[in-house]
Every structure is written in structure tokens, then in C-alpha cells.
Structure 1
Amino acid sequence: MTSETLWRTTARETFTAPPLAADRTIDLAIIGGGFTGCAAALEAARQGASVCLLEAQTIGHGGSGRNVGLVNAGLWLPPDTVRAQTGEAAGTKLLATLAEAPSRVFALIDRESIDCEPTRNGTLHLAHAAKGLADLTDRHSQGRAMGAPLDLLDATETTRRTGSTAFHGALFDPRAGTIQPLSYVRGLARAATQAGAHLHEKSPVQSITRQADLWHITSGPHTLRARRLLVATNAYHLALGPAFRPAFVPVHYCQYATDPLPPARRDSILPQGEGCWDTALVMSSVRRDRAGRIIIGGIGNGTGPGSRVHAAWARRKLAALYPALKDIPLTHGWTGRIAMTRDHIPKIIAFGPDAYAIFGYSGRGIGPGTVFGTQAAQALLSDSETPLPLAPIKQHKETAPAAQAAYFETGACLTHALTAR
């Protein structure tokens, strides 16, 4: 099994950019080349601003290029919980904005001709047990009350949609879909460059300071002087000096993929192409790509001490869902990091004048990342918080994030060692 992400193997969008090679004074500096940063760079450039994005590795190196590829509407939390944690008005605004996130993602894909396997056939939130179906029934009621076009499916219909008898039902969201995530973020980067943005790979930031009315961002021997600053590093943040450090719990998510299955074997598995995830506490996901590969994912670090446990679980999970595939090998395995916050609400931190940091999508990076990045660029360039989907705060703290991360990984290892046997 190769440890290279499937998405790097299959990406049709290509993108390369040189390291930062000169000092520059600009309107907006962006740190981080994922969904948020690239969407912000594209929006800022289309508005005519001078913008420069610095990525320490390559575009999509972090969570954006390791994503499951589900373009979801909303957050991981049910709507009533979102409003309870943010307040009625703020929660309603956030939910309404993110309800449109899939439409905005697929519209960007169309507008910029991004070759990323866009499939807008909805998603299925799968009930792994009877209690999971009760949870989905509640989510269905809450979503319908907000006007979301959700359908609650029984076990029979879920079996027809998934090709598996393992589930008690599902919540279908027709607004959502799937993409090839690395191709998508590379396509955003390409479009941003074509619009006039300057993107630089292999350009890690050593320090950020505020001097007079400008932010000074150093990368190697060069300095960007920027009127406005967006930090969009999410779970792949590097030390940037005392200016800002995000607080989140790093949670790993591993994925495993087969080679393309012959049509006779794959046609009954997710025949309509929905992307899926389940209601289990240690969540798992399943989807197909356009070539007919089956991709199984779950919480856990596939490159850490528990790597063999997670890989063995994935093989058993595939066989449990689809017994006809029990002898099909998994040829790709990879892991990404998720920035989890205690309340599972994304954070916009105003850590200085004309400066935002955005992080904490808790596993929902594509839709929220695209929307938050786009609207952060609008807010910074207009000197107004009004475009933001969520009001910025001055700081966010997490209690013992390292201990919480160890707890999640230990739980994932124990669950994966004991289940799907």
C-alpha cells in the first residue's frame, strides 16, 4: 500500500509556484494555501487588490489536499445546537450562509473550469445503529424547520442507495456533493493567479510583526509589507512568532482506497455517487471516485503508532459494508489533520488591526473554508465586518489540547481494534 494520497495520484489540476523571491508591499497577505487561503486570494484578486499568498509546502499540502471530498451544507452540529452556542441571530446567519456553501463551491468550479470531478448528487448521513437513526430523525426535523430540503430514508431505501445492508437509515441532503479535493484547491490557486494574485510555495513564514500601519511578514530573506493580513493555516499552523497561534485540538483522519473496480463490481455500490459518513462516535466515511475506487475513512492517525490497527480496521470495514469486496486490496492509505474546537464552531480571530485568523472547521473544510475565505477577503478589503459569516472574536482558548488529541486517538485505536470483526 502506498502512503501517497490518492488525490495526488489522480489530480487533473496541476499547480506550481516559485518561492517568494523579492520584497513586496501589498494590500493583502495570506498565509496558508488551502481552501480558505486560496478562496480569499481569488476573491481579493478579482476585486483588484494586490494580494500575495505564502504556503510553507505546496498548495493543498495540508488538510485541503487530504480531505474526504464531501461538499456539505452546514456544520457537523445540528442547527439548534449551533444557535444555542452562538446565539439565535448569529447562528441563524451562519447556518443560512453555510446552507448556500455547496452552491458557491460548485458555482466556483463552473466559473473557473476547475477539473475536480464535481458530482452534485447529494450526501448521505448514515445511521450506524438505532440510536443513530433517532439522531438523524431529530436533525431532519430541525433542518426542515429551517427550509432545508432534507429527506429521511428508511433502511430499505438506504440499502438501495448505498448497496450495503449495514445501516438503519440515512439523512439525504440533495444540496451537497463530492469533489476531488486536491484538484479543487489547485484550481482555486490557478484561478487566483490568473486573476492577478501572487502565490508562493515553499515559502514558510518565520515572523509576523506590526510596524507603523503595516504588517511585516518575513519568509527567508524577504519581507512582505501588507496593509491587511489573513492567517489561514488551520490544523497545519507553523510557529509564526508572537503575533498569533491558533488554539485547537488536532484530530487525525485516515483514508484508504481500492484500485478502480470493474463496472460489474462497482455499479451496485453508491450507484448515484453520494458521499457518505455515519453517526458513530468514532466516525467513518465511504465514497466512490469517478474511476470507481471505493474510499473508506475514519478517525485515527494512519501514520502513527496505531497505523496497523487503523489499516486492518479499514480492510474489515470494507468487507463488512460490502462482503463481495472482502478480497479487494486497499492500494492507497493517507492521513490528514483536523482542527477541532470544543464547541465545533469555526473561529475568526481578530488578532490585530486589519488581521484575521480563521480555523476550526472540525472536519468541514470545503464549503465553510471556501465561504469563510471569500468573505474574509471581502471584509478585510472593505474595512467592515459585515460580510463575515460569523463575528470575529479577540481570542480562543482550548483546555489541554494535547491531552484531548491523545484521548481521541486512543479511542479511535480501541474502537478500530474491536469493531467490524
Structure 2
Amino acid sequence: MNAIHTSNLWHHSAEETFAAPPLTADLDVDLLVIGGGFTGNSAALHAAREGASVVVLEAETIGHGGSGRNVGLVNAGLWLPPDKVIEAMGEAAGLKLVDALGAGPARVFEIIEREGIECEATRRGTLHLAHSPDGLRDIEDRYRQGNRHGAPLSLLNSDETARRTGTDAFHGALFDPRAGTIQPLAYCRGLARAAQAAGAMICENTPVAELRHDNGVWAARANGQVVRAKRLLIATNAYHAGFEDPFRPEFVRFNYCQFATEPLSESQREKLLPGGEGCWDTAMVMSSIRLDRAGRLIVGGVGSVEDAGAGLHEAWARRKLRALYPALGEIGFQHVWSGRIAMTGDHIPKIVSFGPNAYACFGYSGRGISPGTVFGAATAEALLRGEESGLPVAPVRRHQERLTGAKAAYYELGAKLTHFAAHRR
């Protein structure tokens, strides 16, 4: 099957607008940020508010990459449960990251309120849905782990889950009141607007073609101009392009697609996610459901709609909606889009210190909003003050991933086969 026409809902519905000219002159700044997503704009906002001179170079437009294609779930923590994080990192380092990202949603919603960002911010929690008896055991374990580490989680039975979701398809749910939903592109644009208002310079349509370090200064060549900076942050994540020396992030590419209906009627919305929570399930090939402010139902799943097999993913999404909400009938999709996720082998984000006064942040493994916000501000602080103790993870000099292409192909093929099998049942 051929790729289908894509239309990103977030571009259609974003109340925040942002536009910036490309770089047209040489610059000397305190901090150079490459990449205009959650991480880069959070870093720019923090640094500019600290009085530093900052420039953000974005190859396309603000939020062009994963930040503007996100599901919009402002989750606390990582995809991994706390005990797995601690097992992978050690107790002290693991607890530090768990605590930092547990407070991530509060950080996001604080910025939204402080900066007046119009991004449909809805802090009513999220539901991790048990798709099977095994999935129920998984969320029961996550409930025990989370509460042991201070997370205010609630475990919901199947009846309460059905009341909150409007479907009896799930065996239970884990409710996290710290979390919520946003319009992700609008949030990203709002961060850029706030950073610009604080004094940062944002340059769109400015791809970096060359990056080097000479005589204690970083120099980036873009649009025929040169930006020189004492400090550098690469925040390109899954959309890194244009240069590979002195650093290119290594990760496994993971695709996620979304399908949004037309706005539902009041009667259709009455029992469908009445509390406004965002949801994702425990299936190995994960899916998500949420509503936006206009009442569009958005279903997401692993896979890309930008290549062959897109029709399989759309057919799966239609069948998924019919199974969850048969009363909606044969409702169609007005918007279909997908994005890339940078996934690390251990599912833990990385900060790589690849040169003097330089970091790269990447690998949120599908949790971009809170971690990107937290990591961006923390790396900006560390670069400005020369003090790394406040970083959520200890920086490493190098990070390597093996067989990235083969693993990416495996995940995409797995999604296609799973969605094909679901379509055939």
C-alpha cells in the first residue's frame, strides 16, 4: 500500500503562532542551541531569563520534528517503571532521575501558566490502560513501585476504567494525577515565543551545515553565516540532520502515527473520556487515545504513515475505534500524521558531553514533553554555571547504539504485522 496523504492536526488547531527569519548575519553568543523542539526552546528560555545571549538554529520551523508531532501526554517519569530505572542506573542516580521527571509535569504546567502559553493545557491526569490480564498485572506492579517512590498513583478496577474511558475494553487502569494533556505544537511555539521575549534569538529555516571547535569557541556554519558561541547544546533528537562531525546522536528510530476524527457532538462526547484524561495502553505494540479541546478523538499507534504500509495503520485505527466506541459508527479521520521517536537501548535519556562546554540531549523514548523541558533547562543551567550536579543524568563522553537500522526496521515491521493481524480479525 502507498503512503496516504498526511495532515497534522496540531498545525491546524494551534492557537500559538510563531515565525522567525533565517540567520542572515554572523553572530557571537554565550549559548548556541541547535534544534527548535521542547529541549532546545526550554534551554533557550532558561538561559535567556538568566541573562545569557542565546541563539536557536532550527533547520525547518519551530516544532517541525517530534515536538510538533507528539501525542501531547504530559507524563511523569519514563516509559520504564522506577525499579527498572534504578536497576539500570544505580540507586542514587536512578532515584535522582525518577524524582526529577516525577516533578516534570508540574514544571511544564508552571511554565505554561507563567508564560501565558495557549496550548489547551488540561491537568486532569493520565490513564495507563490494561489491555489484557497480563497488562493488569503490569500496572499493578507499576502502582506498587510508583507509590513506594512517592508517586500519588491510583489503581482503577475495570468498572471505574470503563466509566472514565467510555469503553469496557480494558481490565483496569493506573491513574496519575500529576500528568495531563496539551496541544504539543502550541506548547513548543509558546516556549519559543517566551524565549524570544526574554531576549533569545530564534532562527528558523537555518540548517547547520558544519560545526567545529577552534580556540575555545564553537562555530556553526548555517545559511552561509557563522555563529560563534562559548557553549553549545545539540537538541535535534530524532530529527538530527546536516552534520555528523563532531557529534551525531545514536539511537533507534521509532515511528508513531496518529489519526484524528472530526469534532464529536456533545452527545457523542458525553461518556467518552468525560474526565479529560489522556490514555495509552500496556500492549507491546502500544496505542493511545485522547480528546482535544474541540472534541476530536485521536487514536495513535506504532508505525509511520509516510511510507509503504500506511494504509495498514489507518485500517487498524478505524477498526480500533469501532472496537472501543461502536456507537460512533463509521466516523472518518480528518487528520493523519506521524513522527519519529529517538529510543535508546535502555530507554533512558542521554546527555553526551562530546566536547568542551558542549552537550547533546536525546533519547526520550516517546516521553518528550516533560523530559525535554527538564533536560533543556538543566543543560542550559549546567553550561552557564559550569556545574553539572543539577543535571538529571550524569553526562557521558560517548553513547553508542548497535544495529540501529535493523532494530528500526524490526519495530516498523512488527507494527505493520500487528496492525494487519488486527485488521484481519
Q: Which TM-score band (shorter chain)?
A: over 0.9
**Counterpart residue number, 1:262:** 265
Give the letter for the 1:370 counterpart: T
Q: Offset at 1:302?
A: 1.2
Would you say 1:157 and 2:180 are equivalent positions? no
Alpha-carbon separation, structure 1, partners of 2:76 and 2:19: 30
Alpha-carbon separation, structure 2, partners of 1:376 and 1:160: 42
**Counterpart residue number, 2:30:** 27
Kept in 2, the 8 Å contact 1:254–1:333? The answer is yes
Alpha-carbon separation, structure 2, partners of 1:57 and 1:198: 15
Alpha-carbon separation, structure 1, partners of 2:349 and 2:253: 14
Would you say 1:111 and 2:111 are equivalent positions? no
Q: Deviations over 1:276-320 (max 9, x none)?
A: 000000000000001100000000011111100000000000111
Q: Name the SS for the 1:419 alignment partner.
A: helix
**Counterpart residue number, 1:168:** 171
Would you say 1:303 and 2:306 are equivalent positions? yes
- Residues 81-120 of structure 1 mapped to structure 2, 5 A cutoff: 81-120=84-123
**Counterpart residue number, 1:288:** 291
Kept in 2, the 8 Å contact 1:114–1:184? The answer is yes
Q: Name the SS for the 1:343 alignment partner.
A: coil
* Equivalent position to 2:187, from 184, 189, 199: 184
- Residues 7-18 of structure 1 mapped to structure 2, 5 A cutoff: 7-18=10-21
Would you say 1:318 and 2:321 are equivalent positions? yes
Kept in 2, the 8 Å contact 1:2–1:332? The answer is no
**Counterpart residue number, 1:73:** 76
**Counterpart residue number, 1:402:** 405
**Counterpart residue number, 1:203:** 206
Taking every aligned residue pair, what percent have the same amino acid on both sides?
Answer: 61
Alpha-carbon separation, structure 1, partners of 2:24 and 2:384: 25
Kept in 1, the 8 Å contact 2:165–2:272? The answer is yes
- Residues 120-159 of structure 1 mapped to structure 2, 5 A cutoff: 120-159=123-162
The answer for unaligned runs of 5 or more in structure 2 is: none
Alpha-carbon separation, structure 2, partners of 1:264 and 1:241: 53
Q: Offset at 1:239?
A: 3.2
Q: Name the SS for the 2:10 alignment partner.
A: helix
Q: Offset at 1:151?
A: 0.3
Q: Offset at 1:326?
A: 2.9
Moved over 4 A (4+): none
Q: Deviations over 1:155-202 (max 9, x none)?
A: 000000000110000000000000000000000000000000000000
Give the letter for the 2:200 counterpart: A
**Counterpart residue number, 1:343:** 346
**Counterpart residue number, 2:357:** 354
Q: Offset at 1:2?
A: 5.4
CA RMSD of aligned residues (A): 0.8
Q: Name the SS for the 1:269 alignment partner.
A: coil
Normalised by the length of structure 1, the TM-score is 0.99
Give the letter for the 1:96 counterpart: D
Kept in 2, the 8 Å contact 1:342–1:398? The answer is yes
Alpha-carbon separation, structure 1, partners of 2:373 and 2:243: 24
Kept in 1, the 8 Å contact 2:280–2:289? The answer is yes
Would you say 1:331 and 2:353 are equivalent positions? no
Q: Offset at 1:241?
A: 3.8
**Counterpart residue number, 1:56:** 59
Alpha-carbon separation, structure 1, partners of 2:399 and 2:240: 15
Would you say 1:212 and 2:215 are equivalent positions? yes
* Equivalent position to 1:240, from 233, 238, 243: 243
Kept in 2, the 8 Å contact 1:288–1:295? The answer is yes
Q: Name the SS for the 2:208 alignment partner.
A: coil
Kept in 1, the 8 Å contact 2:207–2:242? The answer is no
Alpha-carbon separation, structure 1, partners of 2:335 and 2:416: 20
Q: Name the SS for the 2:187 alignment partner.
A: helix
Cα distance change on mapping 1:381 and 1:185 into 2, 3 Å: same
Q: Offset at 1:221?
A: 1.1
**Counterpart residue number, 1:417:** 420
Q: Name the SS for the 1:22 alignment partner.
A: coil
Kept in 1, the 8 Å contact 2:6–2:305? The answer is no
Equivalenced residue count is 421
Alpha-carbon separation, structure 2, partners of 1:25 and 1:331: 45
Alpha-carbon separation, structure 1, partners of 2:152 and 2:274: 21
Q: Name the SS for the 1:302 alignment partner.
A: coil
Kept in 1, the 8 Å contact 2:127–2:280? The answer is yes
* Equivalent position to 2:225, from 208, 222, 239: 222
Q: Name the SS for the 1:312 alignment partner.
A: helix
Alpha-carbon separation, structure 2, partners of 1:254 and 1:267: 26
* Equivalent position to 1:372, from 359, 372, 375: 375
Alpha-carbon separation, structure 2, partners of 1:158 and 1:215: 53
Kept in 2, the 8 Å contact 1:232–1:359? The answer is yes
Alpha-carbon separation, structure 2, partners of 1:253 and 1:146: 30
Shifted more, 233-242 versus 395-404: the winner is 233-242
Normalised by the length of structure 2, the TM-score is 0.98
Q: Deviations over 1:362-408 (max 9, x none)?
A: 00000000000011100000011112111000111111100000000
Alpha-carbon separation, structure 1, partners of 2:278 and 2:304: 22
Alpha-carbon separation, structure 1, partners of 2:12 and 2:266: 21
